[in-house]
Amino acid sequence: MSSPKSKPQTKSSKVIALLSRTKGASITEICKSTNWQEHSVRAFLTGLRKKGYILAREQRGDDGTAYRITQSPSDKDVKGLV
């Protein structure tokens, strides 16, 4: 059983976790994880960019395109203070 203090994992946090991996995540992987349609995933990626996340788009050979978070908004704030 889960502890009563733990929060349920949101779809947004799942997507951010997938995008934070070294290999990133494809739109298909995100769709399977969240049960979102492709256009919803693309809209979510746009929303992340508007919030200040820096996303890299990389080719994975035959697997298609992968997206990866290279910088989060909190990273920018820390670098701006130095």
- Which tens digit of pLDDT belongs to each residue from 33-48? 999 999 999 999 999 9
| Inter-residue contact 59 to 41 (CB < 8 Å) | no
Could you give the CA distance from residue 6 to residue 2 in angstroms, rounded to a whole number? 7
| 4 three-state secondary structure | coil
Span 21-44, mean pLDDT? Answer: 96
Collect all residues with Cβ–Cβ distance below 8 Å to 60 and sequence separation of at least 6: 23, 26, 66
Return the structure tokens found at 47: 């929303």
**pLDDT in the model for residue 63:** 74
Q: What is the pTM of this model?
A: 0.79
Q: What is the CATH number of domain 11-81?
A: 1.10.10.10
Two structure tokens written together for 74? 């909190």
pLDDT category of residue 30 using cuts at 50, 70 and 90:
very high
